[in-house]
Structure formats: C-alpha cells, structure tokens
C-alpha cells in the first residue's frame, strides 16, 4: 500500500499542482505512476465540476464554465495545454524532424501555439456551454479521466522520438502490464457516470485520434514527445465533449 501511495503521489506531483508531499522519487516510479494518471484526471474533473456548481449558485452558467476551466487549468499547471501549444508550434513551423523537435523544446510560444491555445479554450467553452448543468459534474470527471488513458496507450504503441535528455524521458520506456491495465480500468470506471451511448461512441472516437496522431507523428518525427502526449490528452478531451454533446442532443 505504501508503494502504491508513493506511485499515486508521483502522478499527482508530476501531472498536477495539487500538493503531494514528499515522495521517494525515481524515473522507474514515475513510469509506473502512469497507472494513476486517470485518477489525477478524476480529481481535476471533480475540482472543475465543484467550481461550476459553486459558481452557478450565484452567477450565470457561462461564468461557472469559465471558472471551472480556469480552476482545472490551475490544478494541472496547464501542463497538457502547454504540450498542445508546443505541438502546433513545432509541427506548424517545422519542416524537418530536427526543426520540429527544436521548436517544441523552445520555451517561447509562436503564432501557431498562441492561435491553437486560444481556439482550444474557445472551443471548450462553447462545447461545455451546450452540456446540461445537471450533467456537468460527471461529464468533467469522465472526460478528464478517460482522456488521460490515451497518452498511456500512445506510450505503449509508439516510441520516444528524442535522443537527448528531456523532462519526459520517463516515457521512453513502455509501461508494465499492470500499469497499463490499471490505467485502462481507472480511465474507464468514470464512464459509468455518463450515458452508455456516449461511452460506446467514445471508444472508436478515441481509437481514431490515436491512429491519426500516431501515424502523423511517426511519419514526421519518428514517434512521440512529451508535447505530443499533452496534445493527445487535449484532443481526446475535446473528442469526449463533442461526443457527449452530440449524444445529449440526439437523446433529448
């Protein structure tokens, strides 16, 4: 149990800004901590859902949605949004593998990245505005948990593209079977909170995103980077919201 808590705190510390205390850090533990990546998503989604419910007691729903997005971004330190922005900077501005990797590693944000991140939040706000208030809390939990499975899937089906050291070096090794299986379970369980039709459509939607992103990044740079993993999570989260709203519109 102590070891599992240590792994959970690894995930909490690396993939959020939620205080985790002291951990027995190692790169091996950080790789194993992927099993709790979706659990971090559950916490982030719960924070967003809680903020939304709190704000809508006084303010219009639109204010609650904006506050929820801000709270979830603060809770993660925008780690995945940063990867999403760097992904578009790199693949939008680079023509060769070396140039793409160099741009993504650059700490400055370019026009592609700024445009992508602005559109990302506008799209999220627009889609979330279409979700019924009663469904917002479970939707955010399920979205953030299930979307965090997809980077783990990519790690286990592709290869790390960089040769030099980076902060995402723990992703260069595939996870063990237990870690992969637990990540799938923790990511799938919150889907029980949403309509079954959404979960059924979500699986092929996630599979399509995985296939397209894997194929594209392997062709351009020979695999994935930490920024690609962040983009994978964000693409998957957007897909969840689109599927959820689509099913909600059809069934109402």
What pLDDT does residue 165 have? Answer: 62
Q: What percent of the chain has pLDDT over 90?
A: 76
The answer on pLDDT for 47 being more than 80 is yes
**Upper half-sphere CA count for residue 36 (Cβ side, 13 Å):** 21
Report the first-to-last Cα separation within the chain, whole angstroms: 44
Task: Specify the pLDDT at position 169.
Answer: 64
- Please tell me the distance from the alpha carbon of residue 186 to that of residue 199, in angstroms, as a whole number: 14
Say which residue, 245 or 23, is predicted with more confidence: 245
pLDDT at 173: 80
List the chain domain ranges.
Answer: 2-15+26-251
Would you place residue 211 in the very low, low, confident or very high pLDDT band (cuts 50, 70, 90)?
A: very high
pLDDT one-digit tens code per residue, 166-176? 666 677 788 99
Q: Give residue 157's pLDDT.
A: 96
Q: CA-based angle 51:56:60, to the nearest 5?
A: 125
Q: How far apart are CA 121 and CA 7, in angstroms?
A: 31
Residue 25 pLDDT grade (very low, low, confident, very high; cuts 50, 70, 90): confident
113-150 pLDDT, tens digit each: 999 999 999 999 999 999 999 999 999 999 999 999 99
């Amino acid at each position: 149990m102590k070891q599992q808590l240590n792994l959970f705190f690894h995930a909490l510390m690396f993939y959020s800004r939620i205080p985790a205390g002291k951990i027995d850090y190692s790169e091996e533990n950080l790789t194993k901590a992927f099993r709790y990546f979706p659990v971090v998503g559950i916490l982030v989604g719960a924070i967003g859902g809680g903020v939304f419910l709190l704000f809508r007691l006084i303010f219009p729903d639109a204010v609650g949605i904006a506050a929820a997005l801000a709270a979830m971004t603060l809770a993660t330190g925008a780690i995945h949004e940063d990867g999403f922005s760097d992904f578009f900077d790199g693949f939008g501005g680079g023509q060769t593998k070396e140039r793409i990797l160099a741009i993504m590693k650059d700490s400055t944000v370019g026009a592609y990245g700024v445009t992508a991140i602005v559109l990302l939040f506008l799209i999220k706000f627009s889609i979330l505005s279409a979700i019924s208030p009663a469904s917002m809390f479970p939707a955010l939990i399920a979205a953030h948990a299930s979307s965090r499975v997809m980077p783990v899937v990519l790690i286990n089906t592709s290869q790390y593209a960089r040769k030099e050291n980076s902060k995402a070096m723990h992703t260069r090794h595939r996870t063990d079977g237990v870690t992969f299986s637990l990540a799938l379970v923790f990511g799938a369980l919150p889907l029980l909170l949403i309509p079954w039709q959404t979960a059924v459509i979500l699986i092929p939607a996630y599979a399509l995103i995985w296939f397209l992103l894997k194929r594209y990044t392997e062709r351009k740079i020979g695999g994935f980077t930490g920024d690609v993993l962040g983009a994978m999570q964000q693409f998957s989260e957007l897909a969840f919201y689109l599927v959820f709203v689509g099913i909600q519109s059809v069934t109402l």
